[in-house]
Structures are given as C-alpha cells and as structure tokens.
Amino acid sequence: MTFVGSLQQLGRAFMLPMIVLPGAAVFLSLSQLPWDYIGLPGMPAHLQAASEVIFLYLPYIFALGVALGLTGNALAAGMASLIGMVIYTGITGSADANIEPTVMIGAIIGIVSGISHKRFKDLRLPEYIQFFGGPRFVPLFVSFVALLFSIGMINVAPYLESFMVELGEVVASGGGFGVFLYGFVHRILVVFGLHHLVSHVFWFQIGGYETEAGNMVYGDLPRFFAGDPTAGSFMAGLYPTMMFALPAIAFAIIHEAREDLKPKIRKTFLYAALASFLTGVTEPVEFAFLFVAPYLYVVHAILSGVIMWVTYELGILHGFSFSAGAIDFIINEHLATRGWLLIPIGIVVGIVYYVLFRWAIRRFRIPTPGREEGSQLDEWAGDIPYRAPLILQAIGGKQNIIQMESCITRLRLKVSNEKVLDINALRNLGAAGVIRLGGGHVQVVFGTYSELIREEMLKAIQRDQAQVLFHSPMQGRMIPLEEVPDPIFAGKLVGQGVAFLPDKGELVSPVKGKVIHIYPTMHAIGIKTEEGLEVLLHIGIDTSKLAGKSYFQAVVKEGDDVLPGMLLIRFNLQKVRKESKSLATPMVITNSDRVRSWRYAPFKAVKKGQSSVMSVVLKESNGGGETQ
C-alpha cells in the first residue's frame, strides 16, 4: 500500500500543471469574438497566439509542475526540471530525427527531478566541494540524466512516436466499450485520488495529430484544442455526469434529509451541487455516500461509464481545459461536435440519478447527511482559521505530520502514525471522508476549502502558540454554554467553555492533568492542566442534591494524574435524567482570565474521548514560572 500512497502523490503532482489550461481555453474562446467592431482587429491573433503558446510549452509546464508537486514546491527540483527540459530540447532539436518535446517527456523529467531531490537534498560531499552538495546537487545530477536520456531518445523516438499513434488507434478500435471502461475506472480511482493518472494517459498521451503548422500533438485534450476533428471522445461523456448526475444526487440527499435538518443540508448541498455543475468538482457530493454505501458508488461508476459509451455512439465530441463543468462547456462549445446533445442527455441522466438515489436512500436506509448518523459535510469557509488548529490536533499534531499537501478537494498527508488520527473528530470538523492508503499516506476530503485549510494549519504550526486542546468528556452532543438551563453556567459566572448532553453514563478526562477536587456527591470534578488551567466538569444541573452511590461513582481520587479519555466518573444516566433539572454537563475553565482566545468545533454529536472539540490559546506568562 506504500506504492499506492506514492501514486496518489504523483496524481496530485499531475494535477498541478493543469491549472494553466483554463487560461488557454479562455483565450481561444475569446479569439472568436468580433473584435473588429470595437476597433481591435488584431486582438483575435493575439489571443490565439496566447492560447497556442501555452500548449506549445505544455511539456515544460508539466515538468516544472510535477517536480514541484512531488517535492512540496522545492525550488531546486523545479530548476532541475527546467534544465532537464532545456537540455532535452537542445539535443533532440539538433538531431536529424524530427523529435519534439511532449507532455509525457515533461512528466518523466519532472518525476526524475522530484525523485532526485528526495534522494540528494541532504547529500554531504567533502568540505572543499560541499557547495555543490545538498539541493544544489539536484540540478547537476538531473542535467547528466537529461543528457543521457536525450541521446537515448534520438534513437528510440521514431519507434515511440509510431507506438503512441498506434496505441491511440488500438484504443479507438475498442469503440464504445473502451470509452465505457475508461469512464468506469476514472470514477473508481477518484476514491483513491488516482484518477489523474489514468486521465493523464488518455488526455495527454494517446493518439497523435499533426497541426497545420506541421507540429505533432498527442492526447485527447491537446488534439481537441489543436482542431483534431476526432478528439474529445474521452472528455465529452463526463459532462452529463458532472453537470447533471452529481447535482441530482445532491438534491436527492436534500429531499431525503430529516425535516429538522433539511435547512442546513439544503444550504450545504446546494453549494456542492453548484460546484459540480459549474466547475466539475464532484468529491463533496460523492464522498457524502461513498463510505456509507460503497455499493451505490460502484453503481454510480458503472452508470458514468455507460453515459460515456452513449455519447461516443452518438458521435458527440467535446473537451475541457480543467473539468467537465458548465463553464468549460460554454467556453469550448465552439470547438465541439454535436455538443448541444449533452444538454438533453444530461437532463435525462439527472432524472434517472435523482429517482434512483431517492429510492436507494429510502429503500436501504442509507445514512446520508441529514439522516441519523450520516457523514458530515459542512459549509464553514469563515470558520477555517478557528477550526484549523482543531483539525491539526485531530490529525495528531504537527509532530505526526511528515508531509502535507493539498489538491482541489483534499488534504494529502503522510503521517508518522495513522493510529492517532481521530476520524470522528475530522468528520465532525467538516471532512466528507478520510482515506487511508497505507504507509502513512492519508487523504482527508474537505472539498474546495482544502488549500485554505492547509495554509491555516501551516500558520498554526509556525505560530506555535501555547494552547491547550480539549477532548470530549462524554458521548453525546456538544452544545454552547449559553444553552445550559442554568443562569450561573449560561451566564459564564463560573467560567467559560462548552457543555454536553450525554448519551451514556460515563465521564472521561478531556485533558492531561491532575485531579484537584471531587465533590462529595461525586457529581462534579476539578482538573488542573500542566499549563495551570483549572477545568470544572459538572454532570447535570441541580444534581448536587443527588447523594448516594446509586447516582455517581468516581473511579479516580484527588491527586491522581489523568490523561485524555481516562474514565473519571460513572453515573446512572436514567436516574440522573429523572431526578435532575437537566443532563447538560458544562466543561468550563474557572480561571478563564488566563485564556487569550477560544476555538470551538461545530456543536454536533461527539464520541467519548473524541479530540478537537475545543482549544484555547493562553496569554503570555506574567510570572510564576509556568510556560504559557
């Protein structure tokens, strides 16, 4: 599984250079406008040249993007990839053979640069030549590799060119079934974040086309924009799925949600449906049912392949620069063949998906969001700076992160210990899904906010502020302190914090610290953390009168050291519920004057001992010898 983890990083690296392609598509589309009418007759030529030059230098862009993507934006690797491409172009260009750099060549040199950086970034040479050691050695090494690679390519390029064209013909000979198979595999690989790898082969390598200028371009995507009348079959069929099928699933989830949760689910999934329709970003919707009904996802993958087969048989050819959303559909429609048919097909697809998913959710009682314990999907852009430290804790803290990257919809992590990941906390904090690929490689799907989350997590790591992180002291639901039916706690006269409504009669420690006080009735307990915070846990409201072992039983004593998740008190949930005003259990910091800022997770259902429900940043120490 470590191999799969490495592949998902490579898939992310392939996605990085593709962010420039929408610019090329927009320029090409704008060149079709009647600029003569506003006195700019030369503008179409300028726009077309801007578009063509992006595709011309696409191999260089891929070399640089892949190298940076594999190394976390290491400049030495990026420089090495560009040097490698320059050497390759120079040597092959001076040969008699007609060889041009391709995206595949750029990707290979980018991969070599990325691997070389990982291998040699810490290289130590003798002191008198150490200047060339470490990262500086990478461009030198790649230069020699590029030299040998280029000489070898002069000999094999003619055969390779013929192979790529023939491979395209073989794939084309598969007809509709070949397109179906691609569509099915593409959707399955989305689960592992590896879909960019298979897409890269079909979009940028298979099939060749000679432009009017005499240049060869390879792959469905460049051929489509170069004017190849046969290109677009591996892209057209994705439009009905992304523009209509996924939004239909979102509406089915909304309409099957409980009435009390429907307003929130409606807001969340309308955004997700709009993102899929406009931009082709599908993971926020797909991950809402992937983990709770994987068999339904397989059906979805099969249908996606069938849709591509249908578009192929109808002779529909369409393409995109980024993804099969409405924006790309409109921008590139002037290059399509029978592209308008995708709209009625999409409408039929949307109806089929909506009916199928509503029936399946209801028939098999699938716990999609808004139905019992459905997967979480949250709309919380404004809360990212506050949740990022909690997400960092749920991942296991900065010490557990070896590498952290992000793509459009997910954090891609390599962690030291997968066991310390708190999956429940991550879901509670807005993750649509968590995927373990083995070897420490983990993906956390946060939708289109993933890059912003990564940036805020990096800021939190760099600030390295003194903070205390709190776990859930019980299983149940976390609520704001203001909702506790007691004016003393709700008014924060005892201290500030949060409260919980328990589902189970167990209270566990939310922090690492020492038990400093247990009330005689054992309905409340005080803990002092290593940082000096005094935490009060009070089970229920008006419970001080409930004396006797039949109500509360402490399993720790004053002076005991406790860790997060350690059992503190057992209590009879039914008796306490019956004879108290409320089961609401406040968790407050009684010396709140020592806290500078507070962060809370969403007020949702929590598991006992779940991390990342609250964190506080401490004020600077004014003395006393304590580190704050």
Domains of the chain as residue ranges with CATH: 1-175+213-220 (no CATH), 232-373 (no CATH), 383-464 (3.30.1360.60), 468-618 (2.70.70.10)
Helix (H/G/I), strand (E/B), else coil: 498: strand
Query: What integer is the mean pLDDT of 499-517?
Result: 95
**pLDDT confidence band for 5 (50 / 70 / 90):** low
State the number of CA atoms in the 13 A half-sphere of 250 facing the CB: 27
Contact by Cβ (8 Å): 497, 586: yes
What are the Cα distances from residue 38, in Å, to 35, 41, 43, 331, 441? 6, 8, 10, 21, 54
User: Which residues are the active-site residues?
Assistant: 407
Contact by Cβ (8 Å): 205, 164: yes
Q: Is the pLDDT of residue 204 over 90?
A: no
Contact by Cβ (8 Å): 92, 157: yes
Contact by Cβ (8 Å): 319, 332: yes
User: Cα angle at 496 between 517 and 615, to 5 degrees?
Assistant: 90
Identify the CA nearest to 27 among candidates 52, 61, 57. 52
Alpha-carbon distance 325 to 240, whole Å? 9
DSSP 551-596: TEEESS-TT-EE-TT-EEEEE-HHHHHHHSSB--EEEEETTGGGEE
What are the Cα distances from residue 621, in Å, to 496, 529, 625, 627? 20, 15, 8, 7
**pLDDT confidence band for 498 (50 / 70 / 90):** very high
Identify the CA nearest to 480 among candidates 613, 360, 595. 613
Q: Is the pLDDT of residue 1 over 50?
A: no
Looking at residue 376, its pLDDT comes to 53
Q: Is the pLDDT of residue 626 over 70?
A: no
Looking at residue 330, its pLDDT comes to 92
Identify the CA nearest to 454 among candidates 418, 415, 409, 404. 404
The structure tokens listed for 575 are 């008796």
Alpha-carbon distance 340 to 346, whole Å? 10
The structure tokens listed for 549 are 């072992």
Alpha-carbon distance 562 to 566, whole Å? 6
What are the Cα distances from residue 533, in Å, to 142, 177, 472, 524, 625? 54, 65, 17, 16, 14
Q: What are phi and psi of 599, to 5 degrees?
A: -135, 135
Cα 145 to the chain's mean position, in Å? 34
334-391: pLDDT as tens digits: 999 999 999 999 999 999 999 999 999 998 888 887 775 444 555 555 577 778 888 8
DSSP state letter for 245: I
61-112: pLDDT as tens digits: 989 988 888 887 888 999 999 999 999 988 887 776 667 777 778 888 999 9
DSSP state letter for 219: S
450-476: pLDDT as tens digits: 888 888 888 878 776 677 889 999 999
